[in-house]
Amino acid sequence: MADPKISAYYQTRMAHFGAVTNDWLAQAQSASAITTTPPPPSPPPTAATLSDPSHQKPSFSVIDEFNRWRKQPDLAEAVAAIRALAAVIRSSMATTMMQLEIELKSASDSLKSWDTTSISLTAACDLFMRYVTRTAALEYEDFNSAKSRLIERADKFGEISYTARKVIAMLSQDFIFNGCTILVHGFSRVVLEVLKLAAQNKKLFRVLCTEGRPDRTGLRLSNELAKLDVPVKLVIDSAVAYTMDEVDMVFVGADGVVESGGIINMMGTYQIAMVAKSMSKPVYVAAESYKFARLYPLDQKDLAPALRPVDFGVPIPSKVEVECSARDYTPPQYLTLLFTDLGVLTPSVVSDELIQLYL
C-alpha cells in the first residue's frame, strides 16, 4: 500500500498475517490521532549537547532525553526509551554507519542499565536496535541518506509504540460484550485504556479488581474505574478462585512477553491464570509488541529476580524470611490470546515474530 499513513511495519504485518486489515488500521490510526502528539523536545538542551563533541555527551543526553520523555504522563518507559534512542540517532555526530551503530549500542546499554529489572525496557531497546538496523539497503546508500532512513524508521517505531495502546484498545473491543464480568489483576495502563474505551463506547460491564498486595494496584485501578462510572468490585487476592465462577474473562497486562509465548507480570498472575484455566475462563493479555523479549524461562526461578520489599504493617521477626519477588512467569498454555498492536495473536506467534525479526 502506498498509503503514507500506514507505516511499513504495519504493511509487513498485514502481509504476513492479515490480522490488521486496511480499514481496521485506518480506524486505529484515527483513534490514535485523537490524542495530541507530545510536544517536540525543546531545542536548547539538544543544541547544547550537540555543541559539545565529547564522547561523554551522547550517553549523557540519552538518559536526559529519556527522563524528559518519561515526564509525560501516561508514557510507558519503553516508549520513552525508544524516543530517546531515536533522538540519539538524530543528534549523532558519527560519520560512518559503524560509528553510529556503536553509539546506538552504548546508548542502549546505558538505558538498559538504568533499570536492569525492567524487561520491557530491555526488550524495547533490543527490538529498536534490530528494527532500525535491519534494512538491507543500508549498505548501499551513502551515509547521510542511510542515516535519514534510520531516523525515519526510528520515528516510525516510536510512533507505533506510542499509539500501540490505542490500537490494542480498539482490538479488544470485540471481546467485551454487554453484561460481561472482567477480572483484572495489576495496574496496567494498557488494560485501563481498554476498559476506558469500552466505557466510552457505552458497553455495560463490570470489573472485579484484585487487591494486588503489596503494591495496592487494585486500589488505584478501582479509583480510576470509578471515575469512569464502571461498576467495580474489589476482591482480595485469595478470593480469586471464589469469585471465578461469576467471571467471564480475565484481563491482564504484561511486563514482558517471552519467547515461549508466556508472560512475565505482577506476582499473582500465574495463580489467577491457573484458576481461570481450570475453570475454562479465557485469559487475555494486553501487551504492546515492543515487550517481546528473547527470554525463555523454564520455570519460575529462571527469571532474573526483581525484588520488592513487602510491608506487612506489623514488624516481622528477623528469623522469618519473606518472599519478596515482585513478578512471576505464566506459561503459554494458560493464556488464551494476546492483544498486541500487531493484531490479536495466539501465544505461539511470539516466537514467530521474534525469529523473523532476529533472523
Residues at the interface with another protein (CB under 8 A): 259-261, 294, 296, 298-299, 302, 332, 348, 351-352, 355-356, 358-359
Q: How far is the CB of 133 from another protein (least distance, A)?
A: 18
The 10 Å CB-count burial string (b at 16+, else e) for 289-328 is bbbbbebebeeeeebeebeeebeeeeeeeeeeeeeeebbb
Q: How far is the CB of 352 from another protein (least distance, A)?
A: 5
DSSP code at position 201: T
At a CB cut-off of 8 Å and minimum separation 6, what does 89 contact? 100, 104, 132, 147, 150, 151, 154
CA dist list (Å): 306 to 302, 323, 331: 12, 11, 18
Q: How far is the CB of 268 from another protein (least distance, A)?
A: 21
Q: CB–CB of 213/187 below 8 Å?
A: no
Residue by residue, DSSP assigns 84-117 as: HHHHHHHT----SHHHHHHHHHHHHHHHHHHTTT
Q: How far is the CB of 301 from another protein (least distance, A)?
A: 8
Find the helix or strand (DSSP H, E) in which 135 lies: none
CA dist list (Å): 107 to 43, 51, 88, 112, 120: 20, 18, 8, 9, 16
User: In this complex, which beta carbon is closest to another protein, that of residue 242 or of residue 358?
Assistant: 358
Q: How far apart are CA 244 and CA 181, in angstroms?
A: 10
User: In this complex, which beta carbon is closest to another protein, that of residue 43 or of residue 140?
Assistant: 140
User: In this complex, which beta carbon is closest to another protein, that of residue 211 or of residue 353?
Assistant: 353
Q: How far is the CB of 121 from another protein (least distance, A)?
A: 20
Sign of the C-alpha dihedral, residues 295, 298, 304, 307? positive
Q: How far is the CB of 317 from another protein (least distance, A)?
A: 28
Q: How far is the CB of 296 from another protein (least distance, A)?
A: 4
Q: How far apart are CA 63 and CA 242, in angstroms?
A: 46
Residue 61 CB coordination number (10 Å): 22
User: In this complex, which beta carbon is closest to another protein, that of residue 218 or of residue 262?
Assistant: 262
Q: How far is the CB of 125 from another protein (least distance, A)?
A: 18
Q: How far is the CB of 127 from another protein (least distance, A)?
A: 15
User: In this complex, which beta carbon is closest to another protein, that of residue 238 or of residue 356?
Assistant: 356
Q: CB–CB of 134/357 below 8 Å?
A: yes
User: In this complex, which beta carbon is closest to another protein, that of residue 98 or of residue 359?
Assistant: 359
Q: How far apart are CA 61 and CA 110, in angstroms?
A: 11
Q: How far apart are CA 325 and CA 310, in angstroms?
A: 9
Sign of the C-alpha dihedral, residues 273, 282, 266, 105? positive
User: In this complex, which beta carbon is closest to another protein, that of residue 196 or of residue 294?
Assistant: 294
User: In this complex, which beta carbon is closest to another protein, that of residue 67 or of residue 346?
Assistant: 346
User: In this complex, which beta carbon is closest to another protein, that of residue 108 or of residue 260?
Assistant: 260
DSSP code at position 175: G
